[in-house]
Structure 1
Amino acid sequence: MRVKDLILLLAIIYSYSAYTQNMVEYTSGWEGKIENSKTFNLKVEIENLGLEKARFKIFNRTNIIDYPFNIKSASLIEIPFSENYYFKGVLSKNGKEINGFIKSGMLLYHLKLTQSDNNTFVGIWNILMVDELKSLNFYLSVENGAGNEYEAYPIFGDNRFTGTWCDNFKKENDSLSFTDFKTGLQFKGKLATNEILLDIYLGNNLLTQIGLTKSTTDWEIGGFKNDNKTSILQLTEMEKLISKDSLPNTHSVLISKKGKIIYENYFDGYNANIPHDMLSASKSISSSIVGIAKDKSLFKNVEQSIFDFLPKKYQIHKDSLKTKIDIQSLLTMSSGIDAIDYGINANPKSSATEQNYQRTPDWIEAILKAPMIHKPNTKANYGSANPALLGVAMDSVISEPLELFIDKFLFQKLGISNYIIQSDLKDKPYFGGGMYLTPKDMLKFGELYLNKGKRKSKRVISKKWVENSFKNYRNLENVVDKNGYGYLWWHNTYQVNEKSIKSIEARGAGGQYIFVIPYLKVVVVVTSGNYRNGKTQQPEAIFKKYILPYLEN
């Protein structure tokens, strides 16, 4: 056989073998190393703003995005720097900073870009939320492989990153691709014998490349040492229990009294710079946005029907009962829509639970199609569909992009810039939960309500709205403790030293709590990672047993 023919035959054999690679062979755990601890901490620059040669840049150790753009509006900077990615922001009145958001995946990452020199604005985008990776270990779980079918889930050794939500698994010949629709990161892999070469992209732009081999030992995930601070208040018993894992997955505990931080500590490698997933605790922030809109007379009153705010295509769901769903009923979980969340129990497909409506292409359509089980404003049942409708209502009355309104009228006034907002499928802020704030900024938000809407003597929300928010309208019927409920705020009472102490609380799954205790002039924040072990209410035990007794002394 001629050499030329032999080469051709080998090429055909290789091509055929690559094409017929069976994903059963790759169904396993894989591991490799990330290039460096700052790979996902991206620098963002806007150069020559307002000039013809303006550029939007994203880079780490190498240039990733270099996008030329022109501003069409002096009041709004919009930069679609890659397919399905954009930056949207506003230049401050003094011209020295730009506050805006990068939309990537399901997240709106807030960035504050400050002016350096030569009309250049500079900021940092931490796409994995953490300020620097504590572990360079990277793992890939390839599952359910059969022929060209498979699922693949990236897992970082630094578990302070909340993880990926991957989908859109594809295979062509020896190439794989899938997407993390939470962060927007794209993964593309090349299959080889006993190896996967995995590229991670931002759009079509390469971020980093990782060589993976099959795992032969258990994965090393988390386990980072605490870097605790010295605080005025000593809570040594609580700290010992956290360190011994008797109060597992506690990530932070912060306490302020009369506006002064008296205790601040972080655990499991967390620190003051990492925004924590608040999950449903951010429903209380959603309530504040409704209040700010009301204070600005962007809608008349909380007795207005939700159908006064909904786009025309949703009006077909209006009937004699649903038209009575008003803003107040949504704020108090009393809409009457079958949106009851019973946790892990099976939910009827017709109900408007998050598990159901978030699997549909139009969340609001799915919510409005659900049956009514009560007359509005009569019975309260906890469910995220209620604040989800509030988000649509607020978007309809606010003229600017909703996320920029939130930033301008709430977070900038609180001095908060390091945060992330989860969006819905239409790139709008999702009022049902999922915002990321640092624990210290969660504390600031709690203090805003403790101080009846003021921050450092400046009014942010009206006193009346705060007072109405903290009222107990009715008890939640679908939670074990039958808690009272305000405007997306929980009520609870703790018995300590024969005293009954009332607390108003923002709560999120996994153990994300903001406790506001007006009687003591105290705000307490606890963040946690108890998502699947049944300890989601552990912060209440921490608060009652290991914090309140010391505050009472």
Structure 2
Amino acid sequence: MFKYRSCLLFFLSMSLFNCAQPQISDEDLIGEWTGKLTETYDLKLDITIELKGEEAIFRLSRKKDLIVEKFKFDNKIKLDLDDDITFSGIVNKNKSTINGFIGLQRNLYPIKLSREGNHYTGELSFMMLHHLNPKNIRLSIEEVNDNGYTIYPMLGSFWVNDFKQEKNKISFKDYPTGFEFEGQIMPLEMVFDVGIAGNFIAEVILKKNEMERKQNLNTVDNEIKINDGWELSENRLDLPQMQTDIQRDSLVGVEGVLIARNGKILYEKYFAGFDVNTTHNTRSASKSISSAIIGIAIDNNIIESVDEKLYDFIPYDYQYTKDSLKAKITIKHLLTMSSGLDVNNKAYEGYYQNESDDPWLKTVLEAPMVHEPGTYTDYGSANPFLLGIYLHNRLDIPLEFYMHEKLFSPLGITNYVMNTDDTGIIPYFGGGLSLTPRDMLKFGQLYLNEGTWNGEQIISKSWIQESFKKHTKLQDFQDKDEYGYFWYHHTYMVDGKSIKSIEARGAGGQFIFVVPELEVVAVITAGNYRNGKTNQSLEIFRDYVLPALLK
């Protein structure tokens, strides 16, 4: 019987947890378990707002009501529905639609509700999340130690919360969605009930893989024209050796490779069960998107210039952290990773997110300065994190709505997941935005086009040019790459020819390559989070993609 479980956060290093299983042998458990939802279920939620005069009723349902909340209807809606579930929405001028976000855990899912009579309705599907795709749900049990089994739930790059174990029964919450899993581990089969807010919504059955699974066996070649603004090139590119090396595991963890030239897609393939509709956690590659949002805010005169001081819009409660050096930190210093904050220790992302007991903002702002602002470039996610806080405090609408209205909507991007900081309110500018590879490619094309998409100027040309300038060098990086506003500069040597690329980069191998001299944008996504192969995407671009483009 599915019961409600309160959310006691139990973040686990490297997305794993240990559980002892004395009743089942090691041989029974170790290996990969795969499965899918039973046929009668899916992971979709229906959202309805019913108008009753000045009052309204919000319903979150899946074949039955899961959450029902009465509220006073207004043009701006903010509802706390459960410990980890929120809804926020803005009604458009003619009251025909509500653009909003469902908040689950610390993630925001965009949703559009359309009006029919006295009802606004919409649907939120989680099938775009790879680890919850019915074709790919899996559990990997890889090691045994004195304390039990090391388990990667669903997909190893995600966390679980509120893990509990008693003999062969386990329960946990899926980090991106807050879905609750309760089930039993048995030698040949695992059966999980899936719920939300204590209500059962689906069943998952996993079975032990008896044969060794090739990591990149499944290849999807997308030839279907999708109405997302992209055109397919008539001159398709072929990369047979790369595909062979992926399937043989000579190249590991590759999940998607896309290439566009002259504004048209000429190569698009997905691997390891990913497809054209699956969102991918971009990790730190989304720092470049954070830079774009700051540029748009400057274009809109919300921020006067990159020379504005950080502490001019830091909340009053944290002004006590300002000292003579911190008072000098500007927007430009943050955009170029040269704030001078101690980003390797007290302002290190792993510390303020996982080790400190204080709020993230308090931890970062109390961290000491180790350099004069603007004198030393030291990569650290605290810099974009502070930019998100800064912009949030300048806006008269929530930051996620501003991002959707000014960037995602004009680009036709609707299938994404935005993560927040520890408040659960402010989008986290340090990384982790989930996008489809096509939409990552679209963002790169926007920059190659100097801020335009489909004839619309979304970001000013001047901001694109300023962002792509070589403002500094990453002094703590081995290659000491030149760096713009959260954009890397890198030069490749291919057959004696020098090719310059401007790149957004994220852990695990998430890359957006912009190559102006070739009129090329490329995206490579991968799942190399724990194997030291993050930079394999650079090698793929150098050894396979660029040689093919130069022929």
User: Aligning the two structures, in what range does the TM-score lie when normalised by the shorter sequence?
Assistant: 0.7 to 0.9
Mapped partners of 1:232, 1:483: distance in 2: 32
Per-residue CA deviation, residues 505-539 of structure 1 (Å, 9 max, x unaligned), is 00001110111111122111111111112111112
Per-residue CA deviation, residues 248-300 of structure 1 (Å, 9 max, x unaligned), is 11111111122111111111121110010100000000101111111111122
Per-residue CA deviation, residues 295-341 of structure 1 (Å, 9 max, x unaligned), is 1111222112211111112111111111111110000000111113x
Cα 1:368–1:278, aligned 2, differ >3 Å: closer, same or farther? same
Q: Does 1:237 align with 2:269?
A: no
Report the equivalent of 1:539.
Answer: 537
Structure with greater Cα Rg: 1
Report the equivalent of 1:225.
Answer: 218
Contact 2:50–2:58 (Cα < 8 Å) also in 1: no
Report the equivalent of 2:446.
Answer: 448
Structure 1: tracts of 5 or more residues without a match: 1-21, 341-349
Cα 1:418–1:521, aligned 2, differ >3 Å: closer, same or farther? same
**CA drift at 1:200:** 3.1
**CA drift at 1:152:** 8.7
Q: 1:439 aligned to 437, 461, 464, which one?
A: 437
Report the equivalent of 2:15.
Answer: none
CA RMSD of aligned residues (A): 3.3
Per-residue CA deviation, residues 423-446 of structure 1 (Å, 9 max, x unaligned), is 111111100000000000001111
Q: Does 1:474 align with 2:484?
A: no
Mapped partners of 1:338, 1:195: distance in 2: 48
Mapped partners of 2:57, 2:100: distance in 1: 16
Q: 1:271 aligned to 244, 269, 275, which one?
A: 275
Cα 1:376–1:24, aligned 2, differ >3 Å: closer, same or farther? same
Per-residue CA deviation, residues 199-225 of structure 1 (Å, 9 max, x unaligned), is 432122222356899x79689796652
Report the equivalent of 1:67.
Answer: 68
Contact 1:37–1:136 (Cα < 8 Å) also in 2: no
Q: 1:404 aligned to 401, 404, 410, which one?
A: 401
Mapped partners of 2:315, 2:262: distance in 1: 44
Mapped partners of 1:263, 1:429: distance in 2: 32
**CA drift at 1:100:** 1.9
Q: 2:337 aligned to 333, 336, 341, which one?
A: 333
Q: Does 1:258 align with 2:267?
A: no
Contact 1:282–1:508 (Cα < 8 Å) also in 2: yes
1:337-486 aligned within 5 A: 337-340=341-344, 350-359=345-354, 360=356, 361-427=358-424, 428-486=426-484
TM-score after normalising by structure 2: 0.83
Mapped partners of 1:83, 1:369: distance in 2: 29
Mapped partners of 1:197, 1:245: distance in 2: 31
What amino acid is aligned across from residue 494 of structure 1 in structure 2? Y
SS at 1:432 equivalent:
coil
SS at 1:482 equivalent:
coil
Cα 1:266–1:174, aligned 2, differ >3 Å: closer, same or farther? closer
Report the equivalent of 1:291.
Answer: 295
Contact 2:183–2:191 (Cα < 8 Å) also in 1: yes
Cα 1:121–1:391, aligned 2, differ >3 Å: closer, same or farther? same
Contact 1:442–1:514 (Cα < 8 Å) also in 2: yes
Per-residue CA deviation, residues 154-205 of structure 1 (Å, 9 max, x unaligned), is 623xx4xx65422434579998654344432234468999999754321222
Cα 1:206–1:152, aligned 2, differ >3 Å: closer, same or farther? farther
- Identify which range, 298-307 or 163-172, moves more after superposition: 163-172
- Identify which range, 175-184 or 512-521, moves more after superposition: 175-184
1:144-293 aligned within 5 A: 155-156=153-154, 159=155, 164-169=158-163, 178-188=172-182, 198-209=192-203, 225-229=218-222, 232-293=236-297
Mapped partners of 1:252, 1:210: distance in 2: 26
Cα 1:392–1:38, aligned 2, differ >3 Å: closer, same or farther? farther
SS at 2:294 equivalent:
helix
Mapped partners of 2:52, 2:78: distance in 1: 12
TM-score after normalising by structure 1: 0.83
**CA drift at 1:77:** 2.9
Cα 1:96–1:238, aligned 2, differ >3 Å: closer, same or farther? farther
**CA drift at 1:32:** 8.8
**CA drift at 1:459:** 1.3
Per-residue CA deviation, residues 391-418 of structure 1 (Å, 9 max, x unaligned), is 1101110111111111111100100000
Mapped partners of 1:326, 1:508: distance in 2: 24
Report the equivalent of 1:42.
Answer: 44
- Identify which range, 25-34 or 353-362, moves more after superposition: 25-34
The number of aligned residues is 513
What amino acid is aligned across from residue 135 of structure 2 in structure 1? K
Contact 2:56–2:73 (Cα < 8 Å) also in 1: no
